[in-house]
Structure 1
């Protein structure tokens, strides 16, 4: 984890007018991932007139008060700046166009490494649509998937609440700064998500809601998730943007069919005509996502191999023979154990532990339970 001075450098670059995640990532690549060297390089570009006047002025004399306010926000419990140079930055985001350089997280950032399903749909969804969102989200949450959505009214809120009530994890990707909740009526829901899941934003603290922020939020929802389920959507729905972005990332897109007389079914019907999977029950989604979850676990294991001993994707027998898996199983015992307890017992980092648990769960050796607890199956 970076120290305060390194975090200040990140904040300085993230607040540089007009720099953006793509250019910041290019700077980091040019200097081998050293954020301080990236800042020096940005200042050279600014002095040479390659950045805007406002960027040059900011880099010459950053607003210390604003940076200090950001640091104070980050100093609060369960607040984090997750940078693309961190070993536990979600690797699935690297496969998407224009990935963020950093994410502000409130809650459990380890959830971003677990298999996620995006559940999205209309803000003005009807009772039937909300019920379907709740049913699918709750069932898939009980199967161990993290439910990811955008904290909007309608389908998003129904999916988040269902995951919470099922005792599972849920991730809300928002289009404001991490200290602002939009819509305001979801302040209570956001608080519950922060306690049991995670709130994620690429926007800096203090950023208010603007129309252009929500398509950018949607690309992160699509990028984090193995697949996107669209429950109800009109032909001009932002959910269709999320579905398109998911398809562009090579992710699965699922759509629930509806009545031809329901305007909010037309977006789903268009997606189905364009190649999305028509789904009628939870098992269709679960079965198609298990191989993808295995692949994600193997990729995470490879990324973390220098951080801690991590098991690669394998059949249950091989998982049991792997020393790291065997040690973790011994620590689990036969009673449900929380993730925090396992972290204390094993001494593993959150990402390494999440990778091991994911492999064991996919191999059917352990099961996840409400409240973020795990237990041996046999």
Structure 2
């Protein structure tokens, strides 16, 4: 990637309200980051007010800091167009467009187990988390967690103490550590594993970012193990993402008198797999790990990996050459139409239509309206 391409990527990542989904769609339509930046500058109406202001006059100091951060040998921007972008993430509903990685980015391709739990976990649960992390890491599953206090931090430390790498997916910029008490742990992770963030350097810890990073923990992992979680725990968000992404969810049972066991019990009642030993997890995830390994081998040998079809294409997208897009346009009029009506007219699923309408919106062919309505743009 040239320095100009990298700058365009960073500019897009920092564009307010663009988001990973629209960024990915735009990359497909415009043939890459440079093409998308040029198109947005020629079509500022496609962005919000803040987005337009940023594209027209970006903060050069912020972009310079990003580029300076990326100069380090162990720090990179891993883009969804890169061949080594994790295929696991391509299959989730809202994959990130790019990841800032400090450490060994190749580890993201390894079979992983997410381990999450309460920040205020009790001492027995922390000991279990440490033991499970060490045993699962020794068994071939790379431990991935969120660097939070409690179970997360202990899981990272357990894997490292067993002589194995670990991945921390964080909800701040890759140059910051939250909580600050984990600075030494973060250094160990960067040296022997990887720290991953979808947020650019300098991004502070905001409450909204942590639930979003949970989808990446789940998405990178073949399964997620929950160790102690209250009924309103963020760990249950990670477990929900895992379930929605088709990943295995494991939960450790606890005492009925422990409020921090209620979340695990609720997961088990909803269908999560109750486990008491690490070898149960290794046995359950063995086939998925082999499948992932076969996919990666096919890619490295030049074969067509299944997830590659979902990657942004380097060729510009033309909706006129796609039969389904033509069917959608034919089903629309210049009057507002509900998404449900388009489902009936086209026979396409709501999810597929939403994605297609977003691409047509970026193309300037369709305008979104309140109430989940859309209409064609008069030219």
Could you tell me the TM-score, scaled by structure 1's length? 0.79
Q: 2:119: which partner in 1? A: 123
Aligned residue in 2 for 1:278: 274
Q: Does 1:253 align with 2:249?
A: yes
Q: List gaps (5 residues or longer) in structure 2.
A: 305-379
Aligned to 1:36: 34
Residue 110 of structure 2 is aligned to residue 114 of structure 1: yes
2:186 aligned counterpart, secondary structure: helix
CA contact (8 A) 2:40 2:46 kept: no
The answer to whether the 8 Å contact 1:111/1:197 transfers is yes
In the alignment, which of 226, 236, 243 is matched to residue 239 of structure 2?
243
Q: Given the superposition, is the C-alpha separation of residues 8 and 169 from structure 1 closer, same or farther in structure 2, using an over 3 Å criterion?
A: same
Aligned to 1:85: 81
- Partner of 1:365 in structure 2? none
The 5-angstrom pairing of residues 165-184 of structure 1 reads: 165-184=161-180
- Does the 8 Å contact 1:144/1:168 carry over to 2? no
CA distance in 2, matches of 1:295, 1:218: 23
* Structure 1: distance between partners of 2:41 and 2:86: 29
1:308-323 to 2 correspondences below 5 Å: none
TM-score (ref. length: structure 2): 0.78
Using CA pairs under 8 Å that are at least 6 residues apart, name the structure with larger relative contact order, 1 or 2: 2
Deviation at 1:302, TM superposition (A): 3.1
The equivalences for 1:11-160 within 5 A come to 11-32=10-31, 34-46=32-44, 49-160=45-156
* Structure 2 residue matching 1:7: 3-state secondary structure: helix
The one of 216, 221, 237 aligned to 2:217: 221
Instruction: After TM superposition, give the deviation of residue 52 of structure 1 in Å.
Output: 1.4
Larger radius of gyration: 2
Deviation at 1:304, TM superposition (A): 3.4
Question: How far, CA to CA, are the matches of 1:6 and 1:217 in structure 2?
Answer: 26
Q: Take 1:44 and 1:286, find their aligned partners in 2: how far apart are those partners?
A: 52
2:46 partner SS: coil
Q: Which residue of 2 aligns with 1:198?
A: 194
The number of residue pairs the alignment matches comes to: 304
